[in-house]
């Protein structure tokens, strides 16, 4: 009735802000009416993206006049935490005992403003949360987000949640940069996108003494995200590095980035150069040798790759390192695959998976090998091992919140 035509896809998605409340939906539609275009009575659609919509009507929070001051304040602080939050997070942000926060949240829960999902409390009407958030002056929002980040970080909370607050809080202060430097590995694993965005900010703000380490972390995040700029960042850092161990580690990451981009020629060249230099770590040297096998096989020299893989597999067995063992057998399986020796390739895939199961540091390689195992058995029309490999891969991905693999070759 308000629109005069059925809503289009963008408008339907935006209407979800009402959380199914008809009166709230009517108010939102009236608020957006200058941005809604109706085509011949057939379709009503937003002329802008959802991200470009204005804040909800400032009158919406007036609907909450029946709440106590404590409950209303708790909701406003909860709005800073996003669409969903935990009572513990809100207690940390407000600096109040959990029992007081739970008491303050009882009113909005009973009123149906929040819903309990089991693990979190969620705003039932997203537009109401946005309106509560918009009530706060912009400068106050930034300060509150920074304070929330500090509270979450100080309690050792989930780094991804701390990162959300820092991203919303604007420029990073010294305390935030230090937290980022300390938390980068876990943050990249949990939320590489947020890590990359924060590291980009930190690099712009950092002095020369801190910039190199932050750029290295940014390259790691970009590598995890499969972003093309990771190779450029890593190449720059590799050129700067003087320490042999640091040079070798950066060379390995650079080779990984180049493989992800499909530039096997350059990956092989970087690998050969790295192996010609001192590599203090036997494990890292072996991993570079495994990369050489992969690059040679991909570039059509599968027989040479297979010959080089034999000593790599033997050295991995002597080292006893799970990641080295997994990568060595992956390299051999890849060379054999390119030689058309599918059954032998699958045997080495299974060996690699067995090595990877020995340590969590090999989880990403284990996922890659499980995918290769499923694909290999599918070629032989063997559905049971395909299903088993995919089941293990799904369970591992869920358990580790995996966001990617370091080296992608297939």
Provide the residue ranges of all domains of the chain, joining segments of one domain with +. Answer: 9-52, 63-135, 138-216, 226-400
Q: CATH code for 226-400?
A: 1.25.40.10
Mean pLDDT of 126-153: 94
Tens of pLDDT along 244-290?
Answer: 998 999 999 999 999 989 999 999 999 999 999 999 999 999 999 99
Confidence of residue 400 (pLDDT cuts 50, 70, 90): low
How does residue 321 score in pLDDT terms, banded at 50, 70 and 90? very high
pTM equals 0.68
Domain 226-400 in the same topology as domain 63-135? no
**Phi, psi torsion values for 372, nearest 5 degrees:** -65, -35
β-strand pairing of 84-85 with 114-116: unpaired
Nearest Cα to Cα of residue 409 among 350, 303, 356, 332: 332
| CA dihedral for 83, 130, 73, 104, sign (positive or negative) | negative
Mean pLDDT within 166-172? 93
Kindly report the CATH class assigned to 63-135: mainly alpha
pLDDT tens-digit series, residues 28-57:
999 999 999 988 778 889 999 988 999 999
Cα–Cα distance between 272 and 405 in angstroms, integer? 23
pLDDT band at 189 (very low <50, low <70, confident <90, very high): confident
**For position 216, what pLDDT does the model report?**
81
Q: Higher confidence at residue 159 or residue 224?
A: 159
Whether residue 49 contacts residue 10, with contact meaning beta carbons closer than 8 Å, is answered with yes
302 token code pair: 């599968």
Q: pLDDT class for 223, splitting at 50, 70, 90?
A: confident
CA distance 26 to 23: 5
The token pair at 106 is: 């009882």
| CA atoms of 399 and 95, how far apart (whole Å) | 32
Average pLDDT estimate for 289-304: 97
């Amino acid at each position: 009735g308000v629109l005069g035509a059925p809503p289009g896809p963008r408008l339907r998605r935006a209407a979800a802000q009402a959380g199914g409340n008809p009166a709230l939906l009517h108010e939102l539609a009236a608020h957006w009416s200058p941005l809604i275009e109706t085509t011949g009575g057939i379709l009503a659609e937003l002329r802008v993206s959802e991200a470009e919509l204005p804040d909800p009507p400032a009158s919406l929070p007036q609907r909450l006049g029946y709440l106590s001051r404590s409950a209303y304040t708790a909701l406003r602080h909860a709005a800073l935490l996003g669409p969903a939050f935990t009572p513990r997070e809100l207690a940390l942000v407000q600096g109040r005992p959990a029992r007081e926060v739970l008491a303050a949240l009882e009113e909005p829960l009973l009123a149906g403003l929040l819903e309990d999902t089991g693990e979190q409390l969620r705003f039932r009407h997203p537009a109401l949360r946005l309106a509560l958030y918009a009530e706060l002056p912009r400068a106050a929002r930034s300060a509150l987000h920074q304070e929330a980040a500090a509270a979450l970080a100080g309690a050792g909370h989930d780094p991804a949640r701390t990162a959300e607050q820092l991203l919303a809080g604007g420029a990073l202060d010294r305390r935030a940069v230090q937290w980022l430097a300390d938390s980068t590995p876990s943050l990249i694993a949990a939320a590489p996108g947020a890590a990359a965005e924060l590291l980009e900010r930190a690099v712009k703000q950092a002095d020369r003494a801190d910039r190199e380490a932050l750029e290295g972390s940014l390259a790691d995040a970009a590598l995890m995200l499969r972003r093309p700029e990771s190779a450029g960042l890593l190449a720059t850092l590799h050129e700067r590095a003087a320490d042999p161990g640091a040079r070798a580690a950066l060379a390995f990451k650079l080779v990984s980035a180049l493989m992800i981009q499909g530039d096997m020629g350059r990956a092989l060249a970087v690998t050969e150069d790295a192996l010609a230099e001192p590599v203090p770590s036997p494990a890292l040297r072996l991993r570079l040798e495994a990369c050489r096998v992969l690059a040679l096989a991909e570039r059509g020299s599968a027989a040479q790759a297979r010959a080089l893989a034999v000593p790599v597999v033997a050295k991995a067995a002597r080292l006893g390192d799970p990641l080295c063992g997994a990568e060595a057998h992956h390299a051999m399986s890849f060379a054999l695959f390119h030689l058309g020796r599918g059954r032998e390739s699958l045997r080495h895939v299974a060996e690699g998976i067995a090595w990877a199961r020995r340590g969590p540091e090999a989880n990403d390689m284990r996922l890659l090998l499980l995918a290769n195992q499923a694909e290999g058995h599918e070629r032989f029309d063997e559905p049971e091992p395909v299903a088993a490999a995919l089941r293990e891969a799904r369970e591992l991905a869920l358990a580790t919140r995996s966001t990617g693999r370091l080296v992608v070759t297939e």
